[in-house]
Structure 1
Amino acid sequence: MRLRADVDRQILAVAVPAFFALVTEPLMLLADTAIIGHLGTPELAGLAAAAVVLGTVVGLCVFLAYGSTAAVARHHGAGEVSAAYGLAISSLWLAAGLGAVLGIGLAATSGPLSAAVSSSQAVADLAQQYLLVSTLGLPAVLVVLAATGAMRGSLDLRTPLVVTVVANVVNVVLNVGLVYGLDWGVRGAATGTVLAQWLAAAWLVAVIVRRSRRAAAPLAPRVGEILDAARQGVPLIVRTLTLRVSIVLATLVAADLGDVPLAAHQIAAALVGFLAFGLDAIAIAGQTLTGRALGAGDAGLTRALTRRMMAWGVATGFLAGFVLAVCAPWLPHLFTSDVEVRNALVPALLVVAAIQPLSGLVFVLDGVLIGAGDGVYLAVAGLIVLAAYTPLVLLVAWTGAGFTWLWVAYGGFIAARLATLWHRERGDAWLVLGPGRSAD
């Protein structure tokens, strides 16, 4: 009982502040969804198209957060503080450079990308407007990912929490003023979000630079270490790519169904993202505590932490599902005035609610294996899951089954992820001790 209480304290010490920091991030998208949703259904559908493109680009770079969390946690667990902050600085340089390159590339291709995932030309034009402005914030978004990951690895959850809360409040205030006060439409929503993203990035970088100086870690870019960080992130990129492809497939099917299903899909996807970030708080604990325990060479503690976090994941999933099911009838009113969109949403949200307990377990296992640096297996598992999910989602398109069945197919996706992750956790191949294990 004493071990369980100690494990629970460690988990909660990371998960509680991580939860509040994580849920503020998707609130930016939810704020944009609510503000734009009341402009009209085409504007909401345009946001849906733009969001899937932006989400794919940023999602592929999530290794900046996950990789730095695991690597920094391992070095802290082994008592190598200077090396930990050296890795944090390298990840910031990599994030800034990668963000600049991706921002230029996305701006140049915003037209065809918007058209590819939109349900009409009017929607595509609105999506491109949102995308063009949003590209200016990509370097900031990626720097925030890297900085937040490094801070989690050093068990500083408070700073990212404060920064994201402030940035979210600034985002909402700016968006309301720019969209409704200055009548800038979707461009105003994108502009407000970009300004909030740069505020968060500057704040977090200043904190990490100050701490790195105290730890005598070098601040200048070290090309070899930056390239090594990029190489180690490749398996996590593949893993994330499989997740993003599944989201793009679902968006394409929703777009094929029409403006109303695409608009409803944006709201449902934003709510699912919000729940995922909330449930991911235990996964962040998994990344951080697993990395530290393995870095310290304690396999027994790693197992104890993992099993307890799995129980927490299922419990929080049940809670999230219950709350969503209770709120499903009135939630759509917050995001749209279109009765057809509201009617399409309610049954889909009930399906999503039923899936949440499985999702909670999936996110925990994913976080544990990321913390263990088991990137190659996660990449392979992602490909297997995508192969299982693709025919399910395409079947919805081919049969014209309807919007709700699109989210039933998502349930199959979550079930396939659970099968691959649980299989891995039951073995010992991922339990590699010491500070040097990378994501590959």
Structure 2
Amino acid sequence: MGPDKNQPEAISGSMWRLAASAFVVLAAEPCFVLVDTAVVGHLGAVPLGALGIGGTLVSLVAMLGVFLDYGTTGRAARWFGAGRRGDAIDEGIAATFLALVLGIVAVGIGELFAGPLIRLLAGGAGPTARAAVTWFRVAAVGVPGMLVVLAGNGWMRGVQETRRPVQIVVLANVISAVASPVLVYPLRFGLVGSAIANLGAQVIGGVLFLLVLRTERRPWSPRMNVVKAQLRTGGDLFIRAVGFQVAALVAVSVAARMGTARLGAFQVGLECWVLTTLLLDSFAIAAQSLVGAALGRDDTREARRLAWQVARYGAYAGIALAIVLIPGWWLVPLAFTSSSPVRQQIQVLWPWLVALQPVAGVVFALDGVLVGAGDVGFLRTITLIATIGVYVPLTLIALGYGWGLGGIWAGLAASIVIRFLGMMLRTARGTWAVPGTRDSV
């Protein structure tokens, strides 16, 4: 049975413990990607742009499994809060089964359509596109491992296990971060060395999460009713992920058509944005687990209190990140590239990155609350409005009117504001706080 969390002090302590664990787990892979980006960036603008396009496409393929992380956390947390840990573990087994099946399918689709998709993103069949195809074909093989890691993080957060996910994810990414520069330079694999390091991180992480699941001593065959329930939850989260990915694909495609320097700068800015959003997501991850557990034991009052508490923490974290990022206007371009035009373009987008942090902190925190409560239908709708309805049109307008990278980031800022307004209103209404485990069956 889950621990008694009825005292606000105990819940606050659990939130900080879960958030700290999530912070490390979420930061590990983006930190590896940043190291990888810096390593590749010194190969030149073309390899850096290829990494941006190839990495975006890997993310697109992996979006099939987005519900394996967030959806599984909320569902497992409800069982855990109700004192039924075995049912929570069964959620992890079902999610892992889906991760392997979807991962194999995703690799096949990705390898089959890699060339046409990358040429579409790059705006042609030039050297950047050819390099991106080479990188993608190697890195995409790691997608099944990537999805198993998502599933593993999902169920382990649901049962409030914080130590082992940190150990696994950090170990896998440290090994790959050390391997990347060695493979790229002394061993002379070049850009392909980056892809091999990427693949290694996903395989190591996936295998280790499978070994942890085996120690739970539950039947390995997934319960089909749990699989079907996860797929129902996953439908809305999948559509939501499509909205994010379409917006990302349009943005990288527009940046590619703005020239090699702007594409390279966009890649650096995108990786920095991903890192900061995932760091802010640490409170959201804690909220998923604690809100789900509170609703599992029928404590709707506590779930609502947690929602506003985590929103405050998200705002404070966003302000702190913005302050930390301010000197990056000068330091980050020096660290990531030796190309002067790319450095100048990084400085164009940097003020947008800084200014977005406080609002994004609240958005991602409340996102975690609603995911933990299973209110994924609303999240699907507000995300599509913000991405397809706002971000994509503004990004295309930026290309047509020559607004440059500032125009792309203005579109991102507008989409974040739309999500902020929608989530604040939804949270205030409180209709998302549905008690019990019936939605987890």
1:119 Cα deviation from its structure 2 partner: 5.0
> 2:137 and 2:439 mapped to 1: Cα distance?
39
Amino acid at match of 2:265: A
> 1:16 and 1:438 mapped to 2: Cα distance?
27
1:89 and 1:209 in contact (8 A); partners too: no
Cα distance per residue 1:273-309 (max 9 Å; x no partner): 0001100000101111110011110011111111111
Amino acid at match of 1:431: A
2:392 and 2:411 in contact (8 A); partners too: no
- 1:203 matched to which residue of 2? 208
- 2:355 matched to which residue of 1? 354
Amino acid at match of 2:355: A
Q: Does 1:19 align with 2:23?
A: yes
- 1:327 matched to which residue of 2? 328
Q: Does 1:68 align with 2:69?
A: no
1:119 and 1:258 in contact (8 A); partners too: no
| TM-score, with length taken from structure 2 | 0.95
Moved more, 250-259 or 41-50: 250-259
- 1:127 matched to which residue of 2? 132
Cα distance per residue 1:224-271 (max 9 Å; x no partner): 432332232101111111111111121111111011101100000000
Where structure 1 has 5 or more consecutive residues not aligned to the other structure, the ranges are none
Pairing partner for 1:102 from 106, 109, 129: 106
Amino acid at match of 2:184: V
2:284 and 2:369 in contact (8 A); partners too: yes
Moved more, 308-317 or 195-204: 195-204
Amino acid at match of 2:95: S
Q: Does 1:226 align with 2:252?
A: no
SS of the residue aligned with 2:144? helix
> 1:59 and 1:208 mapped to 2: Cα distance?
23
1:55 Cα deviation from its structure 2 partner: 1.3
Q: Does 1:388 align with 2:390?
A: yes
Cα distance per residue 1:191-242 (max 9 Å; x no partner): 112112111111111111111x0xxx32123444323322321011111111
> 1:225 and 1:11 mapped to 2: Cα distance?
27
Q: How does 1:55-204 map to 2 (within 5 A)?
A: 55-119=59-123, 121-204=126-209
Cα distance per residue 1:330-371 (max 9 Å; x no partner): 111111110110111013112110110000000001110000
SS of the residue aligned with 1:92? helix
1:408 Cα deviation from its structure 2 partner: 2.0
Q: Does 1:402 align with 2:399?
A: no
Q: Does 1:262 align with 2:267?
A: no
> 1:185 and 1:223 mapped to 2: Cα distance?
45
Moved more, 88-97 or 217-226: 217-226
Q: Alignment identity in percent?
A: 33
Aligned residues: 434
> 2:430 and 2:201 mapped to 1: Cα distance?
43
- 1:432 matched to which residue of 2? 434
SS of the residue aligned with 1:168? helix
Q: 1:145 to 1:338 in 2, by over 3 A?
A: same
Cα distance per residue 1:362-388 (max 9 Å; x no partner): 000111000000111111111221212
- 1:374 matched to which residue of 2? 375
1:162 Cα deviation from its structure 2 partner: 1.0
1:438 Cα deviation from its structure 2 partner: 4.6
Q: How does 1:30-41 map to 2 (within 5 A)?
A: 30-41=34-45
Amino acid at match of 2:435: L
2:111 and 2:140 in contact (8 A); partners too: yes
Q: 1:4 to 1:221 in 2, by over 3 A?
A: closer
> 1:229 and 1:17 mapped to 2: Cα distance?
25
- 1:280 matched to which residue of 2? 281
> 1:308 and 1:223 mapped to 2: Cα distance?
37
> 1:391 and 1:107 mapped to 2: Cα distance?
30
| TM-score, with length taken from structure 1 | 0.96
> 1:283 and 1:106 mapped to 2: Cα distance?
30
> 1:345 and 1:100 mapped to 2: Cα distance?
37
1:137 and 1:198 in contact (8 A); partners too: yes
1:416 Cα deviation from its structure 2 partner: 0.9
Cα distance per residue 1:378-409 (max 9 Å; x no partner): 11111221212232222211110111222122
> 1:67 and 1:283 mapped to 2: Cα distance?
13
> 1:224 and 1:309 mapped to 2: Cα distance?
32
Pairing partner for 1:422 from 421, 424, 429: 424
Amino acid at match of 1:312: Y
2:36 and 2:181 in contact (8 A); partners too: no
> 2:285 and 2:28 mapped to 1: Cα distance?
15
> 2:52 and 2:208 mapped to 1: Cα distance?
29
2:304 and 2:430 in contact (8 A); partners too: no
Moved more, 373-382 or 358-367: 373-382
Cα distance per residue 1:157-211 (max 9 Å; x no partner): 2111111111111001221221112111111111112112111111111111111
Amino acid at match of 1:268: G
2:75 and 2:158 in contact (8 A); partners too: yes
1:344 and 1:404 in contact (8 A); partners too: no
2:348 and 2:405 in contact (8 A); partners too: no
2:251 and 2:408 in contact (8 A); partners too: yes
Amino acid at match of 1:48: G
